[in-house]
């Protein structure tokens, strides 16, 4: 009789309580690249032959061989990550090995442990001391206004709180280490 979750009787006016359908929790309003939320991960033991498309941030600890890796957000290739494919994202950060062209609509960063062979196109490219790079860099600096605008758009996208799922072309989860709240589409090459 004290059940607070008792359903509303028919004919009664709808209460202003939250709807019965649970709402997804909002993503933390942190910058997309800073938080661990909305990050799809390809774990260190995973090897993928094919293309990868993500709707969220993507972290690659494993190996990918294919034509392309794409995300409208950030792609991070960690120290153990090895990629033979082109990479297209907003921010691409490389601490591992990449053999392929890289396009960053905002920035490309090659960390001190990063090894890259390919052509980079981005408004800003940052090479850390010790980074190894061979290829070409195509830079078109943007003004601070457009950077600020991009940052604003990024924040809005983060607040929208996308709730994707992990899908492979076989319809199986890509890996146990992949997070449930990220979307990955893998296309066999």
Partner 1 sequence: MTSAALQVEEAAGAARAGPLVSRQATRLLPALFQLRNVDHRLMVLEIGSALPETVNFFSEFKCRLHFVDLFGEAFVRDQQSELSEQELRDAFAQQLRFPEGTRFDLCLLWDFLGYLDDSALRAFSSALSPWIHSGTRAHGFGIHHLAIRLDNIQYGVIDRETLSVRQRLTPQLQHHPHSQIEMQEMLTCFRFERGLLLPDGKLEMLLKQRP
Q: Please give the C-alpha separations between residue 82 and each of 30, 109, 115, 147, 182, in angstroms, as whole numbers.
A: 28, 16, 9, 29, 21
Contact set with partner 1 (CB under 8 A): 63, 65, 82, 84, 97-99, 115-117, 124-141
**Least distance to partner 1 from the beta carbon of 174, Å?**
19
Q: Which is nearer to partner 1, 27 or 98 (CB)?
A: 98
**Least distance to partner 1 from the beta carbon of 162, Å?**
32
Q: Which is nearer to partner 1, 36 or 49 (CB)?
A: 49
**Least distance to partner 1 from the beta carbon of 83, Å?**
9
Q: Which is nearer to partner 1, 38 or 68 (CB)?
A: 68
**Least distance to partner 1 from the beta carbon of 96, Å?**
9
Q: What is the DSSP string of 137-182?
A: EEE----HHHHHHHHHHHHHHHHH-----EE-TTSS-S-TTS-TT-
What DSSP character marks residue 68? E
Q: Which is nearer to partner 1, 117 or 162 (CB)?
A: 117
Q: Please give the C-alpha separations between residue 31 and each of 14, 27, 38, 74, in angstroms, as whole numbers.
A: 38, 10, 11, 10
Q: Which is nearer to partner 1, 28 or 137 (CB)?
A: 137
CA 92 to chain centre: 10
CA 133 to chain centre: 23
**Least distance to partner 1 from the beta carbon of 118, Å?**
9
């Amino acid at each position: 009789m004290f059940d607070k979750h008792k359903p509303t009787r028919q004919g009664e006016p709808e209460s202003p309580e939250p709807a019965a359908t649970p709402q997804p929790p909002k993503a933390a309003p942190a910058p997309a690249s800073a938080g661990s939320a909305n990050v799809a991960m390809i774990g260190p033991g995973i090897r993928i032959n094919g293309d990868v498309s993500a709707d969220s941030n993507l972290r690659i600890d494993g190996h990918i061989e294919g034509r392309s890796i794409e995300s409208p957000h950030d792609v991070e290739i960690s120290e153990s990550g090895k990629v033979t494919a082109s990479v297209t994202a907003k921010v691409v950060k490389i601490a591992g090995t990449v053999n392929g062209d890289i396009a960053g609509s905002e920035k490309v960063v090659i960390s001190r442990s990063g090894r890259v062979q390919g052509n980079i196109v981005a408004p800003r490219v940052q090479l850390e001391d010790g980074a190894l790079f061979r290829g070409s860099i195509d830079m078109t600096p943007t003004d601070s206004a457009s950077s600020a605008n991009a940052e604003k758009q990024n924040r809005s996208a983060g607040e929208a709180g996308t709730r994707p799922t992990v899908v492979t072309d076989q319809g199986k989860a890509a890996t146990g280490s992949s997070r449930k709240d990220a979307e990955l589409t893998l296309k066999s090459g």
